[in-house]
Structure 1
Amino acid sequence: MPAVMIELEKAAAVLKLLGDKTRLTMVKILDHHDCCVCEFVEIFKTSQPAISQHVRKLKDAGLVSESRRGQWIIYSLNKNSEFYPLVQSLLDQLPDQGFRLKELEKQGLRISCE
């Protein structure tokens, strides 16, 4: 079955969004691990409003979805997005970012949202 084609304009918008190193890294992390904003704040050493802005842009584009676990809002890669095959082929070319979460765990900063 042939892959579903994405309009060039939409593909360009998604690639532009992922052209930001922070957002690209977030998406790579979310490829294997769900995270909350506070974890990204620690990983990137950036303010919560700045991280929330990045997450909002990814969410608005449909690349990221959110779910509530108690008081936490957890973000994950939206594998149902029409852009997921494009994003996945890009992520396959990038080095794993799981070490960033392992660093958080060592520092006792990885959030347990259960």
Structure 2
Amino acid sequence: MIPLDALAETLKLLSDKTRLTILALLKEKEMCVCDIVEILQMTQPNVSQHLRKLKIGGLVNETRRSQWIYYSLNVHDKPYLQGILDQLPSMREQIDAVKAESCN
């Protein structure tokens, strides 16, 4: 069972709408910061700060591929988060819209 302090810290991370939106995006697929910035219409430093907090909290992984950093969910060992993730809305439409714009 997860210690109460750790659970409280995780839930604090999830109390921010932007971080919940980022998790909803990453639930759909692994993404780079530039795509998240475009979808959220926020500055890159702001998005990076939220991703840093999620990474420190153990909720996301980062993988470097040449100059790009890609983020993915890291919740396989956190079954207590599955109910929250299941309630997040699909972000597929927003992701597809960004893809369509970048192809034009």
Instruction: Calculate the TM-score normalised by the size of structure 1.
Output: 0.83
Check conservation: 2:63, 2:69, Cα contact below 8 A: yes
1:94 is matched with which residue?
Answer: 88
> Runs of at least 4 residues of structure 1 off by over 6 A?
none
Structure 1 stretches of 5 or more lacking a match? 110-114
Amino acid corresponding to residue 86 of structure 2 in structure 1: D
Distance 2:10 2:4 in 1: 10
Q: Give yes or no for the alignment of 1:7 onto 2:24.
A: no
Check conservation: 2:75, 2:81, Cα contact below 8 A: no
Q: Kindly tell me the number of residue pairs found equivalent between the two proteins.
A: 103
2:98 is matched with which residue?
Answer: 104
Structure 2 stretches of 5 or more lacking a match? none
Distance 1:31 1:86 in 2: 15
* Shift in Å, 1:94: 2.1
Amino acid corresponding to residue 32 of structure 1 in structure 2: E
Instruction: Calculate the TM-score normalised by the size of structure 2.
Output: 0.90
1:27 is matched with which residue?
Answer: 23
Amino acid corresponding to residue 18 of structure 2 in structure 1: T
When the two chains are superposed, the root-mean-square deviation of aligned CA atoms in Å is 1.4
1:74 is matched with which residue?
Answer: 70
For 1:31, what is the secondary structure of its paired residue? Answer: helix
Q: Once the two structures are superposed, what CA deviation does each residue of 1:28-71 show, in whole Å capped at 9, x if it has no partner? A: 11112001111111111111110000000000011000111222
